[in-house]
Amino acid sequence: MNTDYARLQMVNQQVRGWNVYDEDVLNMLKTLPRERFVPDGLESLAFADLAIPLGHGEYMMTPTIEGRLLQALGLRGGEEVLEIGTGSGFMTACLAALAARVTSVDIYDDFVASARRKLADGEIANVEVVQMDATRELPCGRYDAIAVTGSIQAFDPRFVDALNPGGRLFVVVGDGPAMEARLVERMDEHDWKTRSLFETDLAPLVHGALPPQFRF
């Protein structure tokens, strides 16, 4: 397989075809080797519009959702980013290519170990990967952007609390098959706004079925 050509086709036909027009995102996806982050034996599926299984009932997001997530966050190189759900490490690498620093957390220690290895092999150094259940706790500090890569049944306001003023959160909320992808922007210490982006169906975070804590 000509991986460079397959990657270009993925970007032009799938990602751009689903209303992703941010040139920084598209150019990054054209060069970052997605095939190095899929599980062994599934390299031929790296550029298909599929949710690739990772183990533990978890999946890589499709290229189209990855593109929409990255475009929504609008990273421009100086941001501190939190990723909730490291998974394969591919989205971690994408965020690291577009931001200053990424902290990524995952509940599974084998995902953490694998992602660390793949990121190191790719000489991606502006990342810290930590084993943590983000439905129970979050890393200390605040972030300019947060990407939640698994769905949650009910919105969790702790994610907004972890944003700096002006920060942006991408999150998918609801029950399948019709979940809502949202962009939440923190305006100041006590105010934020939410925009509905698109309808999708995304594998849930472990323990992502949270009791309703907050309603917009």
Q: Where are the domains of the chain?
A: 3-200
pLDDT tens, residue by residue, 132-178: 999 999 999 999 999 999 999 999 999 999 999 999 999 999 998 88
Domain 3-200, what architecture? 3-Layer(aba) Sandwich (3.40)
Q: For residue 213, name the pLDDT band (cuts at 50, 70, 90).
A: very low
* Contacts for 6 with CB less than 8 Å, ≥ 6 apart: 46, 47
Nearest to 90 by CA among 7, 9, 184: 7
Q: For residue 1, name the pLDDT band (cuts at 50, 70, 90).
A: confident
Mean pLDDT on 44-72: 96
The pLDDT value given to residue 188:
87
122-135 burial: b if 16+ Cβ within 10 Å, else e: bebeebebeebebb
Mean pLDDT on 32-43: 96
Q: Round to whole Å and give the CA distance between 167 and 10.
A: 29
Q: Are residues 108 and 84 in contact, defined by beta-carbon separation less than 8 angstroms?
A: no
Is the bond preceding 39 in cis, omega lying within 30 degrees of 0?
no
Kindly state the DSSP code that residue 133 receives in the 8-state scheme: -
pLDDT tens, residue by residue, 113-136: 999 999 999 999 999 999 999 999
CA 200 to the chain's CA centroid: 14
Q: Round to whole Å and give the CA distance between 156 and 215.
A: 9
The pLDDT value given to residue 52:
97
The pLDDT value given to residue 99:
98
Question: In this model, does residue 216 exceed pLDDT 50?
Answer: no
Least confident of 47-61, 134-148, 157-171, 199-213: 199-213
Mean pLDDT on 90-117: 98
Average pLDDT, the chain: 94
The pLDDT value given to residue 54:
97
β-bridge partners, 128 = 103
Q: Show the CA angle centred on residue 135, arms to residues 165 and 67, nearest 5°.
A: 65
Percent of the chain with pLDDT over 70: 96
Q: For residue 214, name the pLDDT band (cuts at 50, 70, 90).
A: very low
This prediction has a pTM of 0.94
